[in-house]
Amino acid sequence: MSQPGTTPAGGSDVAARIHAFIVEELLAPQSAETFGDETPILSGLLDSGALMRLMVFLEEEFDVEIDDEDVVADHFASVRHIDRLIESKRETTGSS
């Protein structure tokens, strides 16, 4: 169950949902076991197809629009990085 209200910057609820999606939908079982919020995603864990499905998930789950310019290593290096991207998008649009 998600926590009520917003969480502090570095929002653990958002990070948890991102983490869950990646582990359940995108990773092979052997990588899923050791996958954490800091695990480097761009070490080869996701291919372009998985990245695409991740982007679709992020837009739908958090009701944000991810610009093409946002899709760079700095924003997708780990769950923590993605979490920061989503928070910045939500602040811009004011969605909860």
Interacting residues with other proteins (CB under 8 A): 25-28, 30-31, 34, 39-40, 42-53, 55-56, 59, 64-69, 71-73, 76
By beta-carbon proximity to other proteins, the closer residue of 9 and 72 is: 72
Nearest-approach distance from CB 58 to other proteins, in angstroms:
10
By beta-carbon proximity to other proteins, the closer residue of 16 and 21 is: 21
CB 77 within 8 A of CB 38: no
By beta-carbon proximity to other proteins, the closer residue of 13 and 70 is: 70
Q: 86 to each of 8, 34, 94, 96, how far by Cα in Å?
A: 13, 23, 12, 11
Query: What is the C-alpha separation between 78 and 38, in angstroms, rounded?
Result: 5
